[in-house]
Amino acid sequence: MTSPPLLRGAPIASRLRAEVTLAASLFRDQVGGPPLIATLLTDRHPSALAYRDAIDRGVRRVGIDHRPVELATGSSSDSLIAALASLNQDRSVHGILVLMPLPADLSVHLVFEHLAPLKDVDGITPTNAGRLHLGLPSLRPSTPQGGIEILDFYGLPIAGQNAVVIGRSNVVGKPFATMLTHRHATVTTCHRQTRDLADLTRRADIVAVAAGHPGLINRAMLKPGAVVLDFGVNVVDGEVVGDADATGFAGLGIAYTPVPGGTGPVTTLVLAHNTVAAAFASLSGSLDAVATTPILL
Ligand SMILES: NC(=O)c1ccc[n+]([C@@H]2O[C@H](COP(=O)([O-])OP(=O)(O)OC[C@H]3O[C@@H](n4cnc5c(N)ncnc54)[C@H](OP(=O)(O)O)[C@@H]3O)[C@@H](O)[C@H]2O)c1
């Protein structure tokens, strides 16, 4: 497929939906119950509630059950650890996603340390992050994996490309840079202390932006024909916008993911994929099984 100017997530989401539905039904036939993802809400933050709703709609549609679990407001670290231990031990739960952000008095390190790697469907534990880094089968963070799916679906090359990734969070920027490196791109990771960002982006074939900063990337910062993956989700004047100002992109032949409608729809389906992969991995008790889940990802 030739590079289109608009890299919409819908066709990838639709393909993943079909694949995950099939794999979830295979699991159900084999085990007698559906794959199940539990979400753990620790703070009634609007973005966490919105993501929980999206997960609920997205996974039920493909035959995965969702169990929403909530901690009471003001819960202690011990309560968070106990909730994770209970979900870790529950054999009917195959995937656990702790909704972010956590309240200020709960450290995300507790989640890293106490979430069972075999149920870590957003790939945030040291085991999954380490396995990704080493190139071993792992449960991969769904947003950056969705970015790879978009590039592949639209036939956009990765090997040999110069890629700039703006953002170095553990859930988006850092794992995406690792994934691109494994796929033989030459990757530069940028952050707030990067000097002359535009100089770097102008030389890039692929620019991925996950900063949470509307308008951080614009036409003047890109070379003609570049590919822009915009992971940003920001609300400006009541509208959802990304991190890139796409004005004039089409005139430069820049292929880009629109916001909304680009990377977002793919994320939930990759999470659903990971839940089924975790369900199959639970049968052998090994993350190596993720590589042989009966889904194409
Ligand atoms: N599309 C999806 O499915 C999806 C999923 C998750 C998140 N998101 C969105 O993606 C964005 C990033 O999320 P996140 O969780 O990765 O955020 P995060 O943890 O806040 O990390 C933001 C990163 O961007 C960097 N950054 C911020 N402003 C910058 C600037 N002006 N110049 C250069 N670098 C800058 C930060 O640099 P420092 O490290 O120096 O602070 C940091 O590394 C948010 O808009 C979020 O809503 C989208």
Containing domain of residue 68, as a range? 19-122+265-285
Residues with CB under 6 A from ligand 1: 143, 166-169, 171-173, 190-194, 210-213, 216, 231-234, 263-264, 267
Selection from 177, 124, 123, 117 nearest residue 147 by Cα: 177
Quote the CA–CA distance of 147 and 266 in Å, as a whole number: 8
Query: Per residue in 117-146, pLDDT tens?
Result: 999 999 999 999 999 999 999 999 999 999
Note whether 156 and 109 are same-domain residues: no
Residue 74 lies in a domain: yes
Specify the residue with its C-alpha closest to ligand 1, atom 28.
Answer: 211
Quote the CA–CA distance of 1 and 128 in Å, as a whole number: 33
| pLDDT band for position 295 (cuts 50, 70, 90) | low
Residue 297 lies in a domain: no
> Ligand 1 mean position to 173 CA, how many Å?
7
Note whether 146 and 256 are same-domain residues: yes
CA distances from 290 to 116, 136, 279, 284 (A): 15, 10, 9, 10
Tell me, what CATH number does 227's domain have? 3.40.50.720
> Ligand 1 mean position to 211 CA, how many Å?
3
Residue 5 lies in a domain: no
Specify the residue with its C-alpha closest to ligand 1, atom 23.
Answer: 167
Query: Per residue in 206-232, pLDDT tens?
Result: 999 999 999 999 999 999 999 999 999
Angle between helices 173-182 and 142-153 (to 10 degrees): 40
Residue 221 lies in a domain: yes
Q: What percent of the chain lies above the pLDDT cut of 70?
A: 97
Residue 251 lies in a domain: yes
> Ligand 1 mean position to 281 CA, how many Å?
31
With beta carbons less than 8 A apart as the criterion, state whether 233 and 263 touch. no
- Report which secondary-structure segment, H or E, holds 16: helix 10-31
Residue in the block written with tokens 């990734």: 165
Query: Per residue in 47-77, pLDDT tens?
Result: 899 999 999 999 999 999 999 999 999 999 9
Note whether 76 and 157 are same-domain residues: no
In the 8-state DSSP scheme, what is residue 106? S
Q: State residue 248's pLDDT score.
A: 87
Specify the residue with its C-alpha closest to ligand 1, atom 37.
Answer: 191
Residue 13 lies in a domain: no
Quote the CA–CA distance of 282 and 90 in Å, as a whole number: 11
Note whether 117 and 199 are same-domain residues: no
For a mutational test of ligand 1's pocket, the pick from 149, 178, 192, i.e. the residue with the most ligand atoms closer than 8 A to its C-beta, is 192
Q: Which residues contact 38 (CB under 8 A, 6 or more apart)?
A: 66, 67, 68, 69, 87, 90, 93, 95, 96, 97
Residue 136 lies in a domain: no
| pLDDT band for position 1 (cuts 50, 70, 90) | very low
As for how many domains the chain has, the answer is 2
Quote the CA–CA distance of 127 and 286 in Å, as a whole number: 12
For a mutational test of ligand 1's pocket, the pick from 12, 165, 172, 193, i.e. the residue with the most ligand atoms closer than 8 A to its C-beta, is 172
Note whether 202 and 219 are same-domain residues: yes
Note whether 256 and 176 are same-domain residues: yes
Residue 71 lies in a domain: yes
SS3 228: strand
Quote the CA–CA distance of 13 and 297 in Å, as a whole number: 12
> Ligand 1 mean position to 209 CA, how many Å?
8
Note whether 146 and 254 are same-domain residues: yes
Query: Per residue in 76-90, pLDDT tens?
Result: 999 999 999 999 999
Tell me, what CATH number does 41's domain have? 3.40.50.10860
Q: State residue 292's pLDDT score.
A: 73
Note whether 256 and 279 are same-domain residues: no
Note whether 191 and 118 are same-domain residues: no
Provide the 10 A C-beta neighbour count for residue 84: 22
pLDDT at 294 over 80: no
Note whether 31 and 72 are same-domain residues: yes
pLDDT at 180 over 70: yes
Q: State residue 3's pLDDT score.
A: 43
Query: Per residue in 79-119, pLDDT tens?
Result: 999 999 999 999 999 999 999 999 999 999 999 999 999 99
Specify the residue with its C-alpha closest to ligand 1, atom 26.
Answer: 211
How much is the mean pLDDT over the chain? 95
Note whether 73 and 169 are same-domain residues: no
Note whether 149 and 111 are same-domain residues: no
Q: Is the dihedral of CA 153, 154, 158, 160 positive or negative?
A: positive
